[in-house]
Amino acid sequence: MPDCDRDKTYWSSLAYAYGALGPPLRPTGADIAYMEGAVAAWAGRHPARRTRALLLGVTPQIAEMRWPPGASLIAADNSFPMVRAVWPRDLPRSRVAVCADWSALPVPESSCDVVIGDGSFSCLRYPDGFRAAAAEARRILRADGRLMVRCYIQPCERERPEDVIADLLGGAIPSFHWFKFRLLMALQENTERGVAVDAVYRFWASQRVDEAALIAQTGWDAQAVRMMELYRGKDTVYSFPTMSELRRVLGEFFAETAISTMPRTIEGSCPIWVAEPRSDMRQATMALGAAACRS
């Protein structure tokens, strides 16, 4: 989700190329199965309630996953082109998408059972953007609700960009999507600064990799490789926290109940984090007040 209007050209371009994305930049079947299981487990503990969910973004795999009978889903994304191009379609009384900012959702307080998302927090700046979205998710969730988000987490040992390039040229990376994910992570100097996608493009261009030869050698989809061009000249910033950094901010509002895998290596850097709202909001209120004083 873009942070501001000037980002929208990137998100508009991505919207129409979304079909060429692959894991880890979109969820796998195993990721969706885990989310389905987590939602079903919650619904099983609340058999008398029709599950009401909110999706941060318009991830079609989540929209079309198996939801409990009678469930309803609202998807919120700040990019109209993403909604128009990626959202599968609205379904009467069960599924609808709206354009909205994740820090100001058009949903009443304590009205949702599940807030769910795929890579959503990494579209925001750390820590303030994370904190604002987490506070809003806490506001709209019922006390017994659940936050379920697939996160992009820095591995315990950070990679160097040159090592990622070496693995690419050595045939040690399974897809261009994995290469791009690893390069994004490796080029982030710190979480507060994040990584601008144009910086990723410029590093890629500086390596002078023969894209045609790479495609011929690997058999990778040419459109996926050429999607790197979408980063050119864009100031969109992604944020990749460590697990402790993620817990530090989201933990102001939520208590972790489950995690699909621990992100110790780059292969485990996309865990699904499940948490329940904290009942004691004193710490969260203090954090929001401090953020307001800084703004």
| Average pLDDT value for the chain | 92
Is the separation of the CB atoms in 40 and 266 below 8 Å?
no
> What is the rounded CA–CA span in Å between residue 136 and residue 165?
39
Q: What is the pLDDT of residues 100-134, one digit of tens each?
A: 999 999 999 999 999 999 999 999 999 999 999 99
What's the whole-number mean pLDDT along residues 190-218? 97
Binned at pLDDT 50, 70 and 90, residue 281 comes out as low
Q: Which residues pair with 117 in a beta bridge?
A: 56, 149
Query: 98 and 104 in contact (C-beta within 8 Å)?
Result: no
Taking CA atoms, 162 is separated from 155, 167, 239, in Å, by: 17, 9, 20
CATH for the 5-154+240-294 domain, from 3.40.50.150, 3.90.180.10, 3.40.50.300, 3.40.50.450: 3.40.50.150
- pLDDT average, residue stretch 85-110: 96
Q: What is the mean pLDDT of residues 63-85?
A: 96
Question: How many Å apart are CA 145 and CA 276, to the nearest integer?
Answer: 6
- Write out pLDDT tens, residues 134-162: 999 999 999 999 999 999 999 999 999 99
The answer to whether residue 268 scores a pLDDT higher than 60 is: yes
Q: What is the pLDDT of residues 14-31, one digit of tens each?
A: 888 999 999 999 999 999
Domain ranges of the chain: 5-154+240-294, 161-237
